[in-house]
Structure 1
Amino acid sequence: MALLLLSGVLTAVLFLCYHVSSVPANLRHLPHIPILPLLISYCKMEAEDVRIKKLILPFATQKKCGVVVVWALGRWTIHILDPKIGRKVLEDLAQYPKERPPDDLLLWRFIGNQNVLMRNGDAWKKHSTLINDAFNNTLPIEQFAALAEKAFRVIGNGESVVQWDNLAQRFALDAVGSTVLGHDFNALSTDSSLATDYNTVMHSIANPLYLIFPPLEHIIPRRSLVAKMDNVVKELTNMLNLKRESPGNDIMSFMLRDPEMSDEELRDNMVVLFIAGHDTSAGALSSLVYYLAMHPHYQERARSEVLSVLGPHSCPTANTLGATSLPFLNACIREAMRINTPISYIVPRTSSETTRVGQDVLPANTSLIVNIFAVHHNEDNWSDPFEYRPERFLDINWRKDVWQPFATGPRQCPARNFAMYEQRTLITMLLREYEWTLPRNSIHKEQLKNAFSPFALTLPYNLDIKFSKRPSSKVL
């Protein structure tokens, strides 16, 4: 009897493995990447950019295709590498709405689905209009500048080695706290308990076993992780309740003025703005400082431009930080966001019916993922795509259609202008105050290394930077 039961269990497991690993019949007409190297990559906890460089891009180049079928997070999805197909999918909201993600992944439970990221149709329009209006009415350069000064106190007046990815995250957390959530995390001065809990949650969600086999959440539930995740959401909700009693000049206070926004919608939008507002910014700032450290001639050229426009001490403004005022610096920012895109791809789209885009047939009810990192590294779109070359963005004819760090179409990031000014403010002030290089023993001396992330975030880790105070500057 025991042997019969064991045989039954093994048969069920083998059937499940076969079912999970087999490409669905409706996708077999498209080129698909073998599952084994993908599984190995997840087990090794390789970052998303590594998988794209090692597996997806070479495969697509070999097959000469603009779409490939890729296994990820327990299922097969269509990755779109062709920017023309990608634009079609991202711009046609009626034909390709956002997909409701599987319920068995904790990362989606964390985000929620009653927010601007996940909703469709009229509900999305309501969220989008409100959030776009909020960001269009807010450009807090003075707050960014004040936070930059606090960051400089951490770096110091002499020569120091700083874990820049950590400092960038703390800067970004204080920035999103003060300008979006209306809360002072004081992360640049002290250890934020919320940030610690959040980082623990994100690291734990990224357990490769649960990402490879999501139903494991029901078989071996991670109750302590769920409790910690709920505690992070509870802390954010408490901030929201305080906002109701004492509104300020921030994004969430603006959203609270809308009587039609439910508590769940406000909560889910707050979580999305918290994650997107500081993780993506921290990744972008880490990458930018890294590439300027690796290319001192670009760093010096950007510094000369900043000093010629802003001088050594004047406060940055919207005019002096504009793309036309600092063309080379903005080229450096754009190139860093291209080569190490803050988020590799966005929430999947789907279609209720089979569609043809170019030569490709996209089956109904299938996850469609526009792979932004792949678009940014496709040799058909960019010359020398793996080289950091800001000059490409000084060309008046640079490919605006294939630069998509904020996505494209009606649902592109509503905070894109906000995010660009956050980077411009910090980096202009940093260039005036310091020169920086990589330490000799840096793990990034050959190439930038990113952490493993279930959200496809591109986050450099253990990025030490050696800062030297410039003689003509002084931390106040």
Structure 2
Amino acid sequence: MYILTAIPFVFLLICWYGIAVPPKNLRHLPRVAILPLLWSYLTGETEDCRIKRLVLPFSRAGEQVVLVWALGRWMVHILDYKLAQELSDNVVLFPKETPDDASLLWRFVGSATFSARIPIEAFTSLAHSLSAIVGKRCTVIWDKYAQCFALDAVGSTVLGHNFDAIETDNLFVQDYNGVMGEIADPLYLIFPWMERTFPRRKLMCRIDTLVDSFMKLLTDKKVDPGDDMMTFMLKDPAMSHRELRDNMITLFIGGHDTAAGAISTLFYFLARRPDIQQRARAEVLDVLGDDLDPTVEQLSGVSLPYLTACIREALRINTPISYIVPRQANQPVQLGKYAIPAYTSLIVNIYAIHHDSGRWASPDSFMPERFLERGWQKSGWLPFALGPRQCPARNFAMYEQRALAAVFLREYEWTLPEQSIHRDSLKNAFSPFALTLPHDLELTFTRIEKAGKMSRKWGS
């Protein structure tokens, strides 16, 4: 009788030991305590808050790496910029890790890479469409508008499909947001094995339905090709149907979720700092003047250095992606003062590096001027990753933000409402992809009449 009673207890003890204690070959590394981590996951704490509370203390203590338990295993987080460079530059020693196919995140996203051209005309046209929706004076939930703009931008220029998210209440977006919300169940993120033991069949069906919607877009694109990235990929005979599907889904997520987060963060800090907003506006008006059609050159970082500095600082302080895709050491390796065993999962913690007080003065303060200083490139800025693993769409993303910001700076002033939940600090949503995306961000826009006349010359 006592033996039967003890069996469940022993089983729980074994399970707890497997979670609480890292593998023997990793125990020499510093690690985040498991109980605060589990509590953070279970309570839905956002990635930025978790990193500040549990990970950054190790960085401030001089540690360059730290073990963090997530997604059912212990992983090594890289907190040091130089080690991140070493990891990123050696693609042979540190290949990309292949996720577990059973994970619902992997089931939906797949694996893909992409690049894109710079469609300035499309960006400015969509910016004017969004401006028309905002009107003369209006308080809007800006993160939703940013998502619609980013989706239409990636849809019309990369996927070759008009989602018309700015003008309509798009069902595709609703389905996507619903699936992402359901995937983000803390228990299943903490214990991925639950997908096998207690499968979420309804969610699997919703994911499969959404994937089928992407497959239909792909089929339509084969029938009606255009001047877009998906048409280009369809011409590659070596690319399988599944690879094409994975590329489309990755383009969809990477091209609109992260862009929407970056846009929301930029506009938030410009709202909080009217002095910075006014300086950026003066630069835009000085460079663009009354031009009917802004060119790539006019919207470049060289032409708009201060606005570009604002964008870079927004990407630093609330980087849309907290981590670089996990890598795996294919043999024992020495990273700094740490011995890393073979087949160890390694993650570059972008957010932690961007808030390293040893590299950034006042890391929690929005200071665009730091990106006007000579040599800022060596400061540890890596929102698009590093080296050969940099995001190939980084120029696309920077021009997209400059185009939208330039149009709105000419046409509007904007502020935070008095009762904003973001009055003291930016609040992000919980994300299964470790994204830092502002949530329920209300902004009040007031049209500048003189700028409105200029914008009409642009065709708005």
Give the TM-score of the pair, scaled to structure 1: 0.93
In 2: Cα distance, 1:105 partner to 1:257 partner = 30
Structure 2 match to 1:452: 430
Using the TM superposition, give the Cα deviation of residue 9 of structure 1 relative to its aligned residue in structure 2, in angstroms: 3.1
2:59–2:356 CA contact under 8 A, matched in 1: no
CA distance in 1, matches of 2:155, 2:8: 50
2:151/2:165 contact within 8 Å kept: yes
For the Cα contact (< 8 Å) 1:312–1:473, is it kept in 2?
no
Task: Give the paired residue count.
Answer: 454
Q: Report which stretch shifted further, 308-317 or 27-36.
A: 308-317
Give a deviation string over 1:305-328, Cα, whole Å, max 9, x none.
000010156332101011110110
Match of 2:98 in 1: 100
1:357 matched to 2:335? The reply is yes
SS at match of 2:361: coil
Matched, 1:395 2:360: no
Residue correspondence of structure 1 range 342-381 to structure 2 within 5 A: 342-381=320-359
Unaligned runs of 5+ in 1: 117-130
| Secondary structure, counterpart of 1:442 in structure 2 | coil
Provide the secondary structure at the position in 2 that maps to 1:436. Answer: strand
**What is the CA–CA distance in structure 2 between the aligned matches of 1:339 and 1:81, rounded to whole Å?**
15
Deviations 1:166-201 (A, max 9, x none): 000011111111111100111111111111111011
Contact 1:377 1:385 in 2 (8 A): yes
Cα deviation, 1:60-116, whole Å, max 9, x if unaligned, reads 323x21001111111110000111111111110000001112334211221113x23
Residues 312, 17 of structure 1: alpha-carbon distance in 2 compared, 3 angstrom cutoff: farther
Which of the residues 402, 408, 412 maps onto 1:434? Answer: 412
Cα distance in 1 between the residues matched to 2:3 and 2:244: 53
Q: Which moved further from structure 2: 313-322 or 176-185?
A: 313-322
Q: CA deviation at 1:362?
A: 1.2
Equivalent positions of 1:306-321 (< 5 A) are 306-312=284-290, 314-321=292-299
Q: Counterpart of 1:14?
A: 13
Q: Using the alignment, how far apart are the partners of 2:346 and 2:396 within structure 1?
A: 28
AA in 2 matched with 1:95: L
- Superimposed CA distance per residue, residues 211-232 of structure 1 (whole angstroms, 9 cap, x where no aligned partner): 1111111222111111111111
Q: Which residue of 124, 130, 139 maps to 1:145?
A: 124
Query: Offset at 1:4?
Result: 5.5
Other-structure match for 1:125: none
The superposition leaves residues 207-260 of structure 1 with CA deviations (integer Å, 9 ceiling, x where unpaired) of 101111111112221111111111111111111111111100111001111111
1:57-72 matched pairs, under 5 angstroms: 57-62=56-61, 64-72=62-70
Secondary structure of the corresponding residue to residue 99 of structure 1? coil
For the structure 1 residues 225 and 391, does the alpha-carbon distance in structure 2 shift closer, same or farther, using more than 3 Å as the test?
same
Q: Partner letter of residue 90 of structure 2?
A: D
Task: Trace 1:408-419 onto structure 2 (pairs within 5 A).
Answer: 408-419=386-397
Which residue number in structure 1 is paired with residue 83 of structure 2?
Answer: 85
The answer to whether the 8 Å contact 1:306/1:326 transfers is yes
8 Å CA contact retained: 2:350, 2:383: yes
Shift of 1:411: 1.5
Percent same amino acid among aligned pairs?
Answer: 54
Q: How does 1:178-327 map to 2 (within 5 A)?
A: 178-312=156-290, 314-327=292-305
- Distance in 1 (CA, whole Å) between partners of 2:34 and 2:438 is 26
In the TM superposition, what is the alpha-carbon distance from 1:5 to its structure 2 partner? 4.9
Q: Aligned equivalents of 2:441 and 2:291: distance in 1?
A: 28
RMSD: 1.4
Q: Which residue of 1 aligns with 2:42?
A: 43
Quick one: which amino acid aligns to residue 86 of structure 1? Answer: A
C-alpha distance in 1 between matches for 2:443 and 2:286: 25
Q: Which SS does the other structure have where 2:242 is aligned?
A: helix
Distance 2:385 2:58 in 1: 23
Give the superposition deviation at 1:376.
0.6
Give the superposition deviation at 1:8.
2.4
1:81–1:370 Cα contact (<8 Å) kept: yes
The 4+ residue runs of structure 1 with deviation greater than 4 A are 3-6
Q: TM-score, normalised by structure 2?
A: 0.96
1:32 corresponding residue in structure 2: 31
Residue ranges of structure 2 left out of the alignment (5+ in a row): none
The answer to whether the Cα contact below 8 Å between 1:305 and 1:326 also exists between their aligned partners in 2 is yes
C-alpha separation in 2, matches of 1:219 and 1:261? 34
Name the CA distance, whole Å, in 2 between partners of 1:76 and 1:103.
Answer: 19
Q: Specify the SS of the correspondent of 1:168.
A: helix
Aligned with 2:387: secondary structure? coil
Give 2:168's aligned amino acid: T
Q: Give me the whole-angstrom Cα distance separating, in 2, the residues matched to 1:207 and 1:5.
A: 33
Amino acid at match of 1:434: Y
Partner of 2:443: 465
Residue identity opposite 2:27 in structure 1: R
Distance in 2, matches of 1:292 and 1:213, equals 40
Amino acid at match of 1:96: F
Whole-Å Cα distance in 2 between the matches of residues 362 and 53 of structure 1?
25
